[in-house]
């Protein structure tokens, strides 16, 4: 007994010493022992744990790298939603953000801001229970992410056990931060891939995202990801008694054992924030990691709580981005698009130009105010950039190159689709068509209904939607469920098999959950994340219909604007009729338990596959059937949302794109092994 107690004590002392050494090396950048000494002590602990497996704990340094690759990643619900940030692209937009949040609160006092560098990596959420790391998850859609705990544990700057000190009674701690690849590590990985004849990673961000989604944690460990923590949520104690501000939270994160970016700054005014932003505009080029902007947060947690959230963003924070790549081009036409809400959006149609790796030929002009501000005209030479590296926008007009016969652009007074008068409310910048029967509005509603995040009806694209509306086959989304194969066969490029397949896809959409149906209804301001929050609170449509507006507004992440929109939508007779028709078709208006996790044979549930090349023994249809039987989905093209690429002989561009995006690859043998394991 004495011997066992002695060994238990020795194991615990070794763990503490190795944890201190790891913290000093990876977080403080101040090593306290030589690598050879660390390795010897590590092997000693490893051997003792082999001899006493009953003493192995999750927070042991030996448990950072798993011995067996994961079969798949499990979808998990975040304990607290991970909201994205609103973007600002210059100091003027930063000031506009401040004006907006000040209108939301009665405070007139001076406030403090915390400015932090925006690290260009992958956001992850960490959960600690009683000080021990129990889960690491990707951001996903903000509500649901993927459990990548095994990979997160390989990141040495993430503690497996928190240094809680006198806070040892904390039950649960949620930490958010950014996993990233240092530039020197990124260059080394690409050099190794080049020598091996593999496709190079496009940038550190893609490489980090692809690394986190590797099934084998040993590969992740070799990539040497790093981590900066920036958000702290605490359960089990009053947060205010621990940290009242973002600055205090960052200090507490450091004490707990996390790396916090050392370049954050407490700013007494927006002018100081601007100075910080301008300083790092050039200085960031000397950093050992990538950053694409500055995150600005109100320091006071009390003020953050008062401001709350919009449907997408926290009102108390903004991402001030550095200028994106810009390019000149010429405006060949200005068209006006009518969306599903009736909004008329002017659109610049331009001579194609290369921008941030893609060809750009169109850019939104937002509304008539923006058109007037730019004074943009057909024939103008303009400067185009990608806002947030995603959406093309016109930033300025080079009037000195303007053709002498150009004419100012004027927004139409009538809808360009239905020719009915348009209106612009005094409190809005948007001009709208208010004709509920406008074909453009109906087309937009149907395109939204069938979209991937809504009912996800494959095969119903823009061209088909236009045909269905133009030929008077549908007058609302409910009419989709009354279509017949014979009706579809009468449309252009629609054969009998395609029609039957489409009818089946429409029928399959009846299995989509209540949250997707709610999002698909297209209620103004209700995004996919808000829809999930609403259906969690109100698991049936009847409960949502009868809910008080004030109760809806009290849901964390919803707020008054969204609540008013939802409440008013369900009070309109035409919308009530639509819901009743959709209920009769068999669509889900009641939340059901998610069976994804409980069904042990659905190893690929929620995963998207692409197959490329010729497989050794399986035909492509056979491989597709096997994947679908295991709950997976097979698509034709590779994108960021692809989870796995199944690779055969003579693979082409799909393989190259997957390698660039860091997507997991499987050969036929690996695919069959995973499927075989799922049956055991």
User: Which residues are annotated as part of the binding site for NAD(+)?
Assistant: 35-39, 84-85, 116, 139, 178, 297, 321
- Cα 465 from Cα 473, distance rounded (Å): 10
Task: Please say whether the beta carbons of 570 and 544 come within 8 A.
Answer: yes
b vs e for 4-40, b when ≥16 Cβ sit within 10 Å of the residue's Cβ? eeeeeeebeebbebbbebbbebbbeeeeebeeeebee
Q: What is the DSSP letter of 557?
A: T
**Interstrand relation of 644-647 and 664-666 (parallel, antiparallel or unpaired):** parallel
Task: Please say whether the beta carbons of 489 and 543 come within 8 A.
Answer: no
**Both structure tokens of 242:** 């621990």
- Cα 72 from Cα 666, distance rounded (Å): 12
Question: In angstroms, what CA-CA distances link 214 with 64, 606, 666, 670?
Answer: 15, 16, 11, 14
Query: In the annotation, is 118 catalytic?
Result: yes
User: 392: Cβ–Cβ under 8 A, 6 or more apart, which residues?
Assistant: 355, 360, 362, 363, 364, 384, 385, 386
Question: In angstroms, what CA-CA distances link 248 with 112, 254, 255, 323, 671?
Answer: 13, 10, 11, 31, 48
Residue 68: count of CB within 10 angstroms of its CB: 10
Report which of 236, 265, 288 is spatially closest to residue 120, judged by C-alpha positions.
288
**Both structure tokens of 284:** 């960031």
Annotated binding-site residue numbers for Zn(2+): 415, 418, 438
What's the length of the chain?
Answer: 680
Task: Please say whether the beta carbons of 549 and 563 come within 8 A.
Answer: yes
- Cα 216 from Cα 129, distance rounded (Å): 25
b vs e for 433-459, b when ≥16 Cβ sit within 10 Å of the residue's Cβ? bebeebbbbbbbbbbbbbbeebbbbbb
> First-to-last CA distance in the chain?
40
- Cα 246 from Cα 261, distance rounded (Å): 13
**Both structure tokens of 285:** 């080029």
- Cα 212 from Cα 134, distance rounded (Å): 17
Q: Which of 5, 118, 255, 633 is catalytic?
A: 118
Count helices and strands in the chain by DSSP H and E runs: 24, 22
Q: Starting at the earlier edge strand, list the strands of the sheet with 664-666.
A: 633-635, 608-612, 644-647, 664-666
**Interstrand relation of 87-88 and 317-321 (parallel, antiparallel or unpaired):** parallel
H helix runs in 115-182, sequence order: 149-152
- Cα 73 from Cα 489, distance rounded (Å): 41
Residue 497: count of CB within 10 angstroms of its CB: 10
CA 71 to chain centre: 23
Task: Please say whether the beta carbons of 431 and 422 come within 8 A.
Answer: yes
| Residue in the block written with tokens 């507490």 | 252
**Both structure tokens of 259:** 């790396």
User: 274: Cβ–Cβ under 8 A, 6 or more apart, which residues?
Assistant: 91, 94
Catalytic positions, written as ranges: 118
């Amino acid at each position: 007994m004495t011997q066992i107690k002695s060994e238990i004590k020795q194991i615990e002392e070794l763990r503490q010493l190795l944890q201190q050494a790891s913290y000093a090396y990876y977080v403080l950048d101040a090593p306290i022992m030589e690598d050879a000494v660390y390795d010897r002590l590590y092997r000693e602990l490893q051997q003792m744990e082999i001899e006493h497996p009953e003493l192995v704990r999750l927070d042991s340094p030996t448990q950072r790298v798993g011995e067996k690759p994961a079969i798949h990643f499990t979808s998990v619900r975040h304990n607290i939603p991970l909201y994205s940030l609103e973007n600002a692209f210059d100091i003027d937009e930063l000031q506009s953000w401040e004006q907006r949040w000040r209108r939301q609160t009665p405070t007139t006092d001076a406030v403090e801001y915390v400015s932090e560098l925006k690290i260009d990596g992958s956001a992850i959420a960490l959960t600690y229970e009683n000080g021990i790391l129990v889960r690491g998850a990707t951001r996903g859609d903000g509500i649901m992410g993927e459990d990548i705990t095994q990979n997160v544990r390989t990141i040495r700057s993430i503690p497996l056990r928190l240094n809680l000190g006198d806070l040892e009674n904390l039950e649960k701690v949620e930490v958010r931060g950014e996993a990233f690849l240092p530039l020197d590590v990124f260059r080394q990985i690409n050099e190794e891939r080049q020598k091996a004849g593999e496709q190079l990673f496009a940038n550190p961000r893609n490489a980090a995202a692809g690394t986190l989604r590797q099934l084998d944690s040993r590969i992740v460990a070799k990539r040497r990801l790093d981590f900066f923590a920036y958000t702290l949520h605490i359960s089990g104690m009053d947060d205010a008694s621990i940290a009242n501000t973002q600055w205090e939270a960052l200090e507490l994160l450091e004490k707990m054992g996390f790396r916090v970016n050392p370049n954050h700054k407490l700013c007494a005014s927006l002018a100081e924030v601007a100075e910080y932003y301008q300083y790092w505009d050039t200085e960031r080029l000397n950093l050992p990691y990538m950053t694409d902007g500055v995150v600005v947060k109100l320091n006071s947690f009390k003020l953050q709580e008062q401001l709350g959230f919009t449907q997408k963003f926290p009102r108390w924070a903004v991402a001030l981005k550095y200028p994106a790549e810009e390019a000149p081009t010429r405006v060949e036409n200005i068209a006006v698009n009518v969306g599903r809400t009736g909004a008329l959006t002017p659109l610049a149609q331009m001579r194609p130009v290369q921008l941030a790796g893609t060809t750009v030929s169109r850019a939104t002009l937002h509304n008539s105010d923006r058109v007037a501000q730019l004074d943009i005209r057909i024939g103008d030479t303009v400067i185009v950039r990608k806002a947030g590296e995603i959406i093309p926008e016109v930033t300025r007009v080079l009037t000195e190159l303007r053709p002498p016969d150009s004419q100012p652009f004027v927004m139409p007074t009538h809808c360009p689709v239905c020719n009915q008068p348009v209106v612009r409310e005094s409190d809005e910048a948007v001009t709208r068509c208010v004709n509920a029967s406008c074909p453009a509005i109906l087309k937009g509603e149907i395109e939204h209904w069938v979209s991937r995040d809504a009912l996800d009806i494959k095969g119903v694209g823009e061209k088909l939607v236009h045909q269905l509306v133009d030929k008077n086959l549908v007058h609302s989304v409910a009419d989709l469920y009354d279509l017949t194969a014979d009706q579809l066969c009468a449309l252009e490029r629609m054969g009998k098999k395609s029609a039957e397949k489409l009818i089946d896809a429409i029928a399959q959409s009846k299995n989509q959950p209540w949250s997707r149906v709610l999002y698909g209804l297209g209620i103004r301001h209700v995004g996919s994340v808000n829809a999930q929050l609403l259906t969690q609170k109100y698991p049936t449509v009847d409960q949502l219909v009868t809910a008080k507006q004030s109760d809806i507004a009290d849901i964390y992440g919803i707020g008054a604007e969204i609540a008013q929109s939802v409440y008013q939508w369900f009070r309109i007779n035409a919308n009530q009729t639509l819901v009743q028709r959709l209920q009769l078709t068999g669509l889900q208006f009641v939340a059901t338990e998610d069976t994804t996790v409980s069904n042990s044979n659905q190893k690929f549930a929620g995963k998207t596959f692409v197959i490329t090349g010729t497989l050794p023994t399986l035909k492509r249809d056979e491989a597709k059937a096997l994947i679908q039987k295991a709950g997976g989905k097979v698509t034709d093209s590779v994108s960021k949302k692809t989870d796995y690429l199944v690779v055969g002989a003579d693979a082409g561009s799909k393989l190259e794109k997957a390698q660039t995006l860091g997507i997991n690859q499987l050969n036929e043998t690996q695919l069959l092994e995973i499927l075989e394991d799922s049956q055991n």
